[in-house]
Amino acid sequence: MAWSMARRDNAVSLEDVLSHLRSIADSVDIPVNADFEGGFATDPADVAANVTRATATGIAGLSIEDSTGNDARPLIEFPLAVERIRAARQAIGVSGTEVVLTARSEGFIVGCPDLAETIRRLTAFAEAGADCLYAPGIRSVTDIATVVQAVAPKPVNVLVGSDFTTVAELSAAGVRRISVGGALARAAYGGFLEVAREIAVHGTFAGLTRGVPFAEINSAFPTV
């Protein structure tokens, strides 16, 4: 979403995100899960207020993460991180929706790859009411299985952004949900840039022959 608006990742506003979620939820018949970043707030009460607004967009799930964006202190302090998840859970309960709450611990993607601390946080998030647990950045299937066992019976989501595992391996490890994050978009941009560079550098257009036919793309969308 951010790239489509000529912005960097994590540089979109709450209002932009809420509008985007409504647009997607109104356009499809399948459940929509929202990457709700850090709840667009730090204080638990403010996170709860924003989650309440998100539940009204028609989404089926959302995630709250514990990163700060500050390299000096990349993770929110443990007690506050837990209270934020508890506040989100309460907000969903009051909303009367069945929105699935996914709690994310970001240590492995913000330079703090501590499995024990990650498990401590995910376990606490589960106790605070998270429906699903998520530690993006873990690439060892053994570590992933350890997380699955630690938070059982709550389901675990795994991020796959490169070729380090398979669906079968993750399933065998007990993973219940897989996300690719921005990897599909990056793959698409990769194809775009490859062809654009061919045109700019060589003046040839061979890469355009790999494009998906218009008819195939159009067939994925309803007629107005």
Q: Do 221 and 166 fall into the same domain?
A: no
Q: Do 154 and 198 fall into the same domain?
A: no
Rounded-to-integer distance, Cα 135 and Cα 166, Å: 17
Q: What is the pLDDT of residues 155-199, one digit of tens each?
A: 999 999 999 999 999 999 999 999 999 999 999 999 999 999 999
Query: Is the pTM above the cut of 0.85?
Result: yes
Strands (E), the chain: 33-35, 61-65, 100-104, 132-134, 156-159, 177-179
Q: Do 52 and 154 fall into the same domain?
A: yes
Q: Do 48 and 117 fall into the same domain?
A: yes
**Could you read off the pLDDT tens digit of each residue along the chain, which spans 224 residues?**
999 999 999 999 999 999 999 999 999 999 999 999 999 999 999 999 999 999 999 999 999 999 999 999 999 999 999 999 999 999 999 999 999 999 999 999 999 999 999 999 999 999 999 999 999 999 999 999 999 999 999 999 999 999 999 999 999 999 999 999 999 999 999 999 999 999 999 999 999 999 999 999 999 888 87
Which residues span the domain enclosing 215?
182-224
Residue 151, pLDDT score: 98
Residue 223, pLDDT score: 84
Asked whether the beta carbons of 107 and 78 are under 8 A apart, the reply is no
Phi first, then psi, for residue 211 (nearest 5°) are -65, 150
Mean of the per-residue pLDDT values of the chain: 97
Could you give the number of structural domains in the chain? 2
Q: Do 193 and 175 fall into the same domain?
A: no
Q: Do 64 and 173 fall into the same domain?
A: yes
